[in-house]
Every structure is written in C-alpha cells, then in structure tokens.
Amino acid sequence: MFSSFMMDTWTVATIAAMVAGVVGFFIVMRGSAFVADAVPQGAFAGAAGASLIGINTLIGLGVFALGGALGIGWLGRRSRHDVATALALVVMLGLGALFLSMSTEYAPEIYALLFGEVLGVSASEVAPVAVIGAACIGAIIVLYRPLLLSSVLPELGEARGVRSHRIEMCFLVVVALATSMALPVVGALLIFSLMIGPPAAARSFTDNPLLAMILSVVIALVTVWSAIAASFLWNWPVGFFVGSLGAVSYAIGRGWAWWRSTRAVRGGPRQALAW
C-alpha cells in the first residue's frame, strides 16, 4: 500500500483533502453547494475536450473550471444564483457531450475521470498540484476576513466596504482552482462531496470558524486516507468511499448537534440552538 508508485497518490490526495477542507468550509458557510457540484462536473467536459485536441487534460480541466466559475459569477449578477449555476453547468456538459461524441476515447477512461482513479496519479502531476494547492490556501488566507464577513453577514460586509461581488468572483476562482487540482484523484463527481461532507460535519461540532476549518481539514484527511486505503484493499472505486464517508461524517455531526441541543434544552435555554 505504501510502495513507491502509491506515494504520489498519497501526496496528491493529502494536498487535495487539505484544500477541499479549507475551501469547502467557505462553500458550506456561503451555501454554494451547487457551485461546488457544478464546477467539477463542468470541468470534466474540459478534460474531454483536451483529450480530443490532444493536450494535457489538466489544462482542459483548468480552463473549463475557470470559465465555468466566471460564467456562474457573470450570469449570477443578473439572475438567480441557482439558475445561473444550472445554466452554466448544462452548457459545459453539452459541450462535453459534443467532445465525447467526436473523440474516440473508450468509456473506461471517461469513467476514471468522472469517478476518480487512485492509481491514475503520475509523478509529474505532484508538482503542479502542490503549487495550485498552495495558491488556493494562500488566497483563502488573504481573503479570510472579508470572505467570512460576506458569508455570514453580507449586509454588514457591504457596510464595511467589502465588495461582495468581487469577493464572490475571487472565491469562485479559488473553487475552480481547487477543483481542477483535486479532480484527477477523487473524480469530477465526488470532489464536491469532499468539499461538502467534512466541512458540514465540522460546523456542527463547533461554532468557532477557525476551529471548524481545522476540524474540517482533519475530517477531510481522515476521509481521503481511509477511502484510499479501503479502495486499495478491496479494489472498489475510491469515489464510493469518499461519498459514503462524507455522508456518514455529516450524519455523526448532525447527531452530535442534536444530542447537544437536547442536553442544552434540559440544562437551560442559554446554549441551545447552535444551528
């Protein structure tokens, strides 16, 4: 399991989990789960396009993820956010269907892109993933205060001079980067459950944002590591383990919050209603 060819997978997966934990925390705070689903799925179309014209799939992923994120931001200015997201997503997927029909790739390769492939990580991918991952976390650190303010209290943020649309655009770019980086490992359809499950679970354990973020990274790391180990042992797809562990951790988080709130109600109303 820890032989040399697996080391690249472990490295990339660890970086991906850390970034997903940090970025996902804000996705959950801002309630933009749909964006986190749409950007990776749309980016998959970019990978199909890249393989059609014969360039590195990571470039295709990046271009489509960025284009999709900016498109969501641009459309979202003028209409409802979920409608904008859905439209951007289907346009990208429509292009993906076109690329797929033109290319001669076999289904298993597409399957690997959609659902992730543990052994699909090569040594040459480690460096770009590390750089992009560091860029994402750096961007979140720089944006931390305005992002938090505009996520929790958008009106107060506006009053304090936080340009919420600009922040939104920056955040979407970060999501796009994080997506295109993590996609080859856990797959287009499941990078987002890594961005949703662990942070949502972490939020039900604590109200402190910084603590929740750290907890979310920890849960994401545990999820990814056990998913890869389980996938290596039983040869089942890694996406299955990531998806179900995400749901399980969320269920545990909700159970904990519920238990705490019933106890708090009995003890006194002061600390009830963490959610």
Partner 1 sequence: MTHLLRSIVEPGFLGNQPVRVALLVGGLVAVVSGIVGTFTVLRGQAFAGHALADVGATGGSGAFLVGINPLFGFVGIGIAAAGVMELIGIRRPRGRDLATGIVLGAGLGLAALFLYLDATFSNTTGATITVLFGSMFVISSSLVPMIAALSLLALAVVLVLYRQLLLSSVSSDLAFARGVPVRLTGVLYLLALAVAVSLSALTIGAILSTALLVGPAATALRLTARPGMAMILSALIGLAATWLGVLLSFDSFYWPPRQHGWPVSFFVVSLIFVFYLMAQPLGRRSGSRTETSGNRAGRTACSRAS
The site for partner 1 (CB under 8 A) is made up of: 28, 30-34, 36-38, 78-80, 82-83, 85-87, 89-91, 93-95, 97-98, 100-102, 106-108, 110-111, 114-116, 187, 189-190, 192-193, 196-197, 200, 236-237, 239-244, 246-247, 250, 254, 275
Name which of 22 and 238 has its Cβ closer to partner 1.
238
Cβ partners under 8 Å of residue 242, min gap 6: 116, 186, 190, 193, 194, 223, 224, 227
Name which of 135 and 232 has its Cβ closer to partner 1.
232
User: Contact, 46 vs 69, CB < 8 A?
Assistant: no
3-state secondary structure of 17: helix
Name which of 9 and 32 has its Cβ closer to partner 1.
32
Name which of 79 and 262 has its Cβ closer to partner 1.
79
Q: How far is the CB of 189 from partner 1 (least distance, A)?
A: 5
Structure letter (DSSP) for residue 54? T
Distance CA 186, CA 242 (A): 8
Name which of 13 and 190 has its Cβ closer to partner 1.
190
User: Contact, 177 vs 5, CB < 8 A?
Assistant: no
22 alpha carbon, distance to own chain's centre: 9
Name which of 129 and 192 has its Cβ closer to partner 1.
192
Q: How far is the CB of 70 from partner 1 (least distance, A)?
A: 16
Nearest to 23, CA basis, from 117, 141, 115: 141
Task: Work out whether the CA dihedral 171, 173, 178, 183 comes out positive or negative.
Answer: positive
Q: How far is the CB of 230 from partner 1 (least distance, A)?
A: 12
- Structural tokens at position 160: 């304090």
Q: How far is the CB of 130 from partner 1 (least distance, A)?
A: 26
Q: How far is the CB of 4 from partner 1 (least distance, A)?
A: 26
3-state secondary structure of 67: helix
- Structural tokens at position 127: 């460096």
User: Contact, 150 vs 162, CB < 8 A?
Assistant: yes
Q: How far is the CB of 54 from partner 1 (least distance, A)?
A: 14
